[in-house]
């Protein structure tokens, strides 16, 4: 008997953890992993640690790593002093393919591989596609990656360089998902959607476990996350809840959710409708219909975090500020979190002298350079 | 009194460690740091460790970090099985600016900053320039970076994005150095040459200390390094010598040196002359006149390593193989080491079943994508 199962996030129905199952059979809700036996835990995924984390694999030997995770946390002296707030960045662009996605992908591909899957389909704005391409190659799997033709050329090239088949879609991020779903149906290939796969969030959980070590148990009170589909946002929360359940931490930080004004289905407070969609430089969060939207909203509510929308101009401005003030070059999607931080401080949702952690989610090298 | 000094690598004359001194006043030889008091050691630079490493700073608080070092080591299952040899890669492209240079730069900039330097000149094929640009920004220094106009556009853009002044030179890598030296002389600005600064190698030493931890003291018998100026090659050796002197390791591995056939002043076995220079896709090792050439030759001799030259075709072939077989996307310079490994195995300089470690020095994202 497996030590974990899938559980519907809407109706709580349990399902056998089959990699082909991405939605609840009863209500079509999204699924998450639930552990029925916590004995199957591994420590070595989380560096520097005595800390175990439950994972949906039979054993650690099934885990395929390209060296993801255990990213450094750096102080941000100039921006901290600008805001009179203690700000830290966790450098997720220092993952093997240049984004935090590698955490989720490593776990998802390992789980699929362990269940004998040899060919997969994925859709992505670019980062997840490159990540899945690399790990699928590592696992000896064939991968079809759907990405918008309008994605930065470097991301499209990166998807191809690892040997996967790129399906460039002349349409929006949401139309790319639709094209992938159609292909999956037609070809009967496993849909390894990083947005829907419950395994993916089990991988991004490592971020939450690591910060427990990074800050010597004193996790900052605010974590500001750029949110498209919310796979990092939800992974961090799941980790923190596990740590609290095990009485390793007492209080949970506020998890703030940042979106681009042009595409803000969560931050618009339910005034959003798909027809309002505009393009954004923050391609990683250009998601008009996030399938885990209600999960993100639930975490926002539980954690006391704030959802905030940022302008295109502020995103680019912060991308440049991070490079020229702190020596950190990230993609626009990551910079959006700092634009959001500025708003949250101005609106007093984050007060002076509070501690703030921001994941710097992706590398600037993969996107269009700022002018 | 300082706990370290500079020593000439040719005539052994001692010099006060002044950041403006890059060559021996007596014989123009290159300089290296010598510790007169090992008490000034720091452990926290080297992760997972009980291990101290002597550094040329007054205290660790002077060390400016962007999260460099502590890169993962991954197995290379497909290439290992191809060669029936146990091969590991240490992923240096997972440094903050995408190359191992960040190790050296962090120490060099920290040392310069601690001595009150506020403006510097550097020359580079691109990676070191981007690295110095980022760390100079972090340190609040003004930096002039000289790089060949023919360097990959992404590297040139990266140099500029952190705010440094790019001087693009319409000439070879060696002519770029000459242009920088001329500018230094004319403007009386400190020349923070990563090829000459003794501080730089004190930073790349961390690689050598880390592998002591990575392999639980059982460092592989062969380390295969792409060599241009040799700053990583020499840093690894210096670390290993320090570990041996402290009786933490007994035997030293062979340090093999890989160069491109088109520019191989070291591997050509003294038949090289500058007029033979041709271009190479491996821009990071396109150095016709490495100032530390005799130091590299001395380590080759001491360690029993072999110098080997590789063809342009084999470099590109290995760049693609690494991506499509192992899911690792590196720049051509890094792939050269694998082309060299193939030669060394074919020529029986490395035997079957031996253990080999290769630093994967720089990110493929910063260079021209392979066809």
pLDDT score for B52 = 83
Nearest by CB: B72 against A67, A162, A327:
A67
By C-alpha distance, the chain B residue nearest A328 is: B134
A72/B65 CB distance under 8 A: yes
Strands annotated E in chain A = 4-8, 14-15, 31-35, 41-42, 53-54, 73-75, 86-90, 119-123, 142-148, 165-169, 190-191, 222-226, 254-260, 307-310, 355-359
User: Rounded to a whole number, what is the distance in Å from the CA of B326 to chain A's nearest CA?
Assistant: 5
Nearest by CB: A327 against B70, B134, B366:
B134
- Overall average pLDDT of the A116-129 stretch: 95
pLDDT score for B353 = 85
Bridge partners, A87 (sequence order): A356
B158/A65 CB distance under 8 A: no
User: Rounded to a whole number, what is the distance in Å from the CA of B297 to chain A's nearest CA?
Assistant: 33
A364 CB neighbours in chain B (<8 A) are 161
pLDDT band (50, 70, 90) for residue A371: confident
B329/A158 CB distance under 8 A: yes
User: Rounded to a whole number, what is the distance in Å from the CA of B287 to chain A's nearest CA?
Assistant: 25
pLDDT score for B63 = 93
Phi, psi torsion values for A100, nearest 5 degrees: -60, -20
Cα B15 to Cα A267: distance, rounded to the nearest angstrom: 61
3-class SS at B9? coil
Q: Which two tokens stand for residue A347?
A: 């609106």
Return the percent helix, strand and coil in chain B, to nearest 5.
40, 20, 40
pLDDT band (50, 70, 90) for residue A193: very high
Q: How many CB pairs under 8 A join A and B?
A: 117
3-class SS at B115? coil
pLDDT band (50, 70, 90) for residue A38: low
pLDDT band (50, 70, 90) for residue A1: low
Half-sphere exposure of A43 (CA within 13 A, CB side): 6
By C-alpha distance, the chain A residue nearest B69 is: A72
- Overall average pLDDT of the A146-164 stretch: 95
Question: Residue A128 burial by CB count (10 A; 0-12/13-18/19+): exposed, middle or buried?
Answer: buried
pLDDT score for B50 = 56
Nearest Cα to Cα of residue A156 among A166, A142, A143: A166
pLDDT tops 60 at residue A48: no
Spell B110-148 as b/e; 16+ CB within 10 A means b.
bbbbbeebeebbbbbbbbbbbbbbbbbbbbebebbbbbb
Convert the pLDDT of each residue in A196-253 to its tens digit: 999 999 999 999 999 999 999 999 999 999 999 999 999 999 999 999 998 999 999 9
A328/B364 CB distance under 8 A: no
Phi, psi torsion values for B180, nearest 5 degrees: -65, -45
pLDDT of chain B, 371 residues: tens digit per residue: 688 999 999 999 999 998 889 999 999 999 999 998 765 566 666 765 556 888 999 888 899 999 999 999 999 999 999 999 999 999 999 999 999 999 999 999 999 999 999 999 999 989 999 999 999 999 999 999 999 999 999 999 999 999 999 999 999 888 999 999 999 999 999 999 999 999 999 999 999 999 999 999 999 999 999 999 999 999 999 999 999 998 999 999 999 999 999 999 999 977 888 777 788 999 999 999 999 999 999 999 999 999 999 999 999 999 999 999 999 999 999 999 999 999 999 999 999 889 999 999 999 999 988 87
User: Rounded to a whole number, what is the distance in Å from the CA of B359 to chain A's nearest CA?
Assistant: 14
Full set of structural domains in chain B with CATH: 73-98+200-366 (3.40.50.1100)
B324/A137 CB distance under 8 A: yes
More confident site: A50 or B220: B220
Percent of chain A with pLDDT over 90: 83
Nearest by CB: A329 against B158, B329, B364:
B158
A134 CB neighbours in chain B (<8 A) are 323, 327-329
pLDDT score for B42 = 62
**Do residues A206 and A45 lie in contact, with contact meaning Cβ atoms separated by under 8 Å?**
yes
B163 CB neighbours in chain A (<8 A) are 323-324
pLDDT score for A36 = 87
By C-alpha distance, the chain B residue nearest A323 is: B162
Cα B131 to Cα B105: distance, rounded to the nearest angstrom: 7
B330 CB neighbours in chain A (<8 A) are none
B163/A364 CB distance under 8 A: no
Nearest Cα to Cα of residue A227 among A268, A170, A167: A268
Spell B181-216 as b/e; 16+ CB within 10 A means b.
eebbeeeebbbbbbbbbbbbbbbbbbbbbbbbbbee
A162 CB neighbours in chain B (<8 A) are 323-324, 327, 329
A370/B70 CB distance under 8 A: no
pLDDT score for A41 = 62
- The total of other beta-carbon atoms located within 10 Å of residue B30's CB is 23
Nearest by CB: A72 against B67, B73, B325:
B67
B163/A324 CB distance under 8 A: yes
């Amino acid at each position: 008997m497996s030590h974990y199962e899938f559980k519907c996030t809407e109706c709580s129905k349990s399902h056998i953890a089959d990699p082909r199952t991405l939605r609840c059979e009863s209500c079509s809700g999204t699924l998450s992993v639930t552990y029925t036996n916590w004995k199957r835990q591994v420590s070595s995924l989380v560096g520097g640690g005595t800390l175990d984390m439950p994972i949906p694999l039979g054993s650690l030997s099934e885990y395929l790593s390209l060296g993801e995770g255990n990213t450094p946390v750096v102080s941000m002296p100039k921006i901290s002093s600008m805001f009179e707030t203690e700000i830290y960045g966790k450098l997720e662009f220092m993952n093997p393919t240049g984004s935090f996605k590698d955490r989720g992908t490593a776990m998802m591909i390992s789980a699929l591989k362990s269940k004998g899957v040899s060919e997969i389909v994925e859709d992505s704005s670019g980062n997840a596609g490159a990540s899945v391409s690399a790990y699928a190659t590592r696992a000896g799997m064939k991968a079809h990656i759907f990405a918008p033709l309008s994605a930065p050329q470097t991301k499209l090239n990166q998807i191809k360089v690892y040997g996967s088949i790129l399906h460039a879609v002349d349409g929006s991020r949401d139309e790319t998902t639709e094209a992938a779903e159609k292909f999956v149906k037609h070809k009967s290939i496993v849909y390894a959607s990083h947005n829907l796969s419950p395994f993916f969030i089990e991988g991004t959980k490592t971020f939450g476990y690591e910060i427990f070590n990074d800050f010597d148990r004193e996790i900052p009170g605010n974590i500001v996350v750029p949110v498209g589909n919310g796979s990092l946002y939800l992974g961090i929360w799941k980790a923190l809840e596990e740590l609290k359940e095990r009485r390793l931490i007492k209080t949970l930080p506020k998890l703030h959710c940042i979106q681009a004004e042009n595409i803000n289905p969560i931050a618009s407070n339910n005034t959003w409708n798909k027809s309002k969609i505009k393009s954004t430089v923050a391609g990683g969060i250009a998601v008009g219909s996030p399938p885990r939207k209600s999960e993100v909203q639930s975490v926002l509510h539980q954690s006391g975090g704030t959802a905030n929308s940022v302008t295109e101009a502020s995103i680019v401005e912060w991308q440049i500020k991070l490079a020229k003030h702190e020596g950190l070059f990230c993609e626009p999607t990551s910079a959006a979190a700092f634009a959001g931080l500025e708003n949250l401080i101005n609106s007093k949702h984050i007060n002076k002298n509070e501690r703030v952690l921001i994941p710097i989610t992706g590398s600037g090298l993969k996107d269009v350079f700022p002018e």
